[in-house]
Amino acid sequence: MAHSDVVPPSIEPPFGVYVHVPFCASRCGYCDFNTYTASELDGSGASPDGWLEAVRAELALAARTVGPRPVETVFIGGGTPSLLGAERLGLVMDAIRAEFPLAPGAEVTTESNPESTSPEFFAGLAAAGFTRVSLGMQSAAQHVLAVLDRRHTPGRAVEAAKEARAAGIGHVNLDLIYATPGETDDDLHRSLDAVLDGGVDHVSAYALIVEDGTALARRVRRGELPAPDDDVAATRYEILDSRLSEAGLRWYEVSNWAVPDRDAACRHNLGYWRDGDWWGVGPGAHSHVDGARWWNVKHPARYAAALTAGRTPEAGREELTDSERYTERVMLRLRLAEGLPLDMLDAAGRGAVAVAVDDGLLEPAPFDAGRAVLTPRGRLLADRVITDVLTAPVPR
Ligand SMILES: C[S@@+](CC[C@H](N)C(=O)[O-])C[C@H]1O[C@@H](n2cnc3c(N)ncnc32)[C@H](O)[C@@H]1O
Ligand code: SF4
């Protein structure tokens, strides 16, 4: 059976808008995102105002291309969106509303760095219609923040989370990074104490990845820092999951936990993981609409120049083949607590899933009901389960 035959015909998927803010006050040593400091942009002609004009032009291009599709979710990410201030972020929302109808109850998120926020900033966001804020906390331990080159003080992220809630922002996320060299189990416990004190309804936690070409990678190569250890990361993941579960949050994706029944799971990210459609606005942003994917030029000056000249900022595009779509579906949906419907799998994949149930990596009850859902041990070995499902030989 062809992979496309096992995927049920879709109703129109939800549509989201992602806006990429390519500015940061300084670069954290571990980060390889498409972002630039003021000195890196010096002399290039790129500026926040030029970026905003170009974003307006790209939104108009998006509306001409996809028509008046209601926007269910907006996510402003970066980079450091909070560096722009609430007023400019409000102008981004005005620009989206000028081109698209916002669906009733739309989720509107912005990422923010704790050091560039304040009660006034959050009040401005609430007034501009933001419903969700995602704060990069990473750790509550000063020495871990120092290894990560973070600029905020240990208490600032949780203070900011409380300020956001007090300003009427309904949903607040804190991002953690774990298994940073030098972090101890106790450090993570104290970070979790702080997170839980913040009363947030969502937590994302990522094991530190040493990305090629970063300052962190150079420090590890020079022997100044040990590489993060997989066994340590597994223990820390277990600490995170048990502490967050005890506090009433539930995992809904391997790296994401939310309070159940309060619309706290990030609907925008669920759109990515469930094959939704989104238009990515901004330098280096990726889009996925009606089976096509494309991505923009990365440098903010080239991005703005293209739009100012009336050209598309697109740098490349691809139509996914059936087999690539199948691979993506398995990779993304297997990481979700709702699981991967078995009828999305071909015969080889279904065989591998049955073996994973026997190995204790997938839950038996959901399997009997037609879904592949990771067990706690399966979550630690999610990449292995995904590889096994994708590389299993077709049974004879
Ligand atoms: C790229 S940042 C953008 C938002 C914001 N500037 C910040 O730093 O929080 C989004 C999140 O990605 C995660 N992240 C980025 N690089 C990472 C890496 N190398 N390893 C693990 N997590 C990473 C961090 O948790 C971070 O909060
Ligand atoms: S503030 Fe966020 S986006 Fe900017 S360099 Fe640090 S991790 Fe990357």
Which pLDDT tens digit goes with each residue over 57-110?
Answer: 999 999 999 999 999 999 999 999 999 999 999 999 999 999 999 999 999 999
In a domain, 310, yes or no: no
- Residue 253: beta bridge partners? 256, 336
In a domain, 305, yes or no: no
Is residue 340 located within the same domain as residue 266?
no
- Counting residues of the chain whose pLDDT is more than 90, the rounded percentage is 94
Domain at 65, CATH number:
3.20.20.70
Is residue 245 located within the same domain as residue 345?
no
2 secondary structure, DSSP code = -
Task: Work out which ligand 1 atom sits closest to the CA atom of 176.
Answer: 25
Distance of CA 313 to the CA centre of its chain: 23
DSSP notation for 149-184: T--S-TTHHHHHHHHHHHTT-SEEEEEEEE--TT--
Distance 37 CA to ligand 2 centre (A): 10
Task: Output the six-digit token pair for 352.
Answer: 């591998």
The residue among 272, 295, 311 that closes a domain is 272
In a domain, 382, yes or no: yes
Distance 297 CA to ligand 2 centre (A): 19
In a domain, 29, yes or no: yes
Is residue 94 located within the same domain as residue 214?
yes
Is residue 268 located within the same domain as residue 342?
no
In a domain, 278, yes or no: no
Distance of CA 228 to the CA centre of its chain: 21
Task: Work out which ligand 1 atom sits closest to the CA atom of 214.
Answer: 19
Nearest bound ligand to CA 209? 1
Task: Decide if pLDDT at 284 tops 60.
Answer: yes
Is residue 366 located within the same domain as residue 251?
no
Torsion of CA 240, 242, 247, 250, to 10 degrees: 80
Residue 177 Cβ inside 6 Å of ligand 1? The answer reads yes
Q: Please give the tally of structural domains in the chain.
A: 2
Distance CA 329, CA 345 (A): 9
Is residue 267 located within the same domain as residue 339?
no
Residue 187 CB contacts under 8 Å (≥ 6 apart), including other chains:
139, 140, 141, 143, 144
Task: Decide if pLDDT at 137 tops 80.
Answer: yes
pLDDT value, residue 4: 35
pLDDT value, residue 393: 83
| Domain hosting residue 356, numbered range | 323-391
The pLDDT tens digits of the residues spanning 319-363 come to 999 999 999 999 999 999 999 999 999 999 999 999 999 999 999
Task: Work out which ligand 2 atom sits closest to the CA atom of 113.
Answer: 1
CA-to-CA separations, 288 to 225, 314, 383, 390, in angstroms, rounded: 38, 13, 24, 22
Pick 394 or 232 by higher pLDDT: 232
In a domain, 318, yes or no: no
Distance 209 CA to ligand 1 centre (A): 10
Is residue 379 located within the same domain as residue 267?
no
In a domain, 286, yes or no: no
Nearest bound ligand to CA 175? 1
Is residue 361 located within the same domain as residue 267?
no
- Assign 394 a pLDDT band (cuts: 50, 70, 90): confident
Which is nearest to 78 in space by CA: 130, 125, 22, 116?
22
Average pLDDT of the segment spanning 290-317: 97
Is residue 332 located within the same domain as residue 183?
no
Average pLDDT of the segment spanning 130-141: 98
Distance 175 CA to ligand 1 centre (A): 8
Is residue 244 located within the same domain as residue 351?
no
Burial 220-252 (b: 16+ CB within 10 A, else e): beeeebeebeeebbebbbebbbebbeeeebbbb
Task: Decide if pLDDT at 9 tops 90.
Answer: no
Is residue 97 located within the same domain as residue 192?
yes
Task: Output the six-digit token pair for 90.
Answer: 């409000």
Is residue 339 located within the same domain as residue 223?
no
Residue 272 Cβ inside 6 Å of ligand 1? The answer reads no
Distance CA 123, CA 129 (A): 10
Task: Decide if pLDDT at 157 tops 70.
Answer: yes
In a domain, 308, yes or no: no
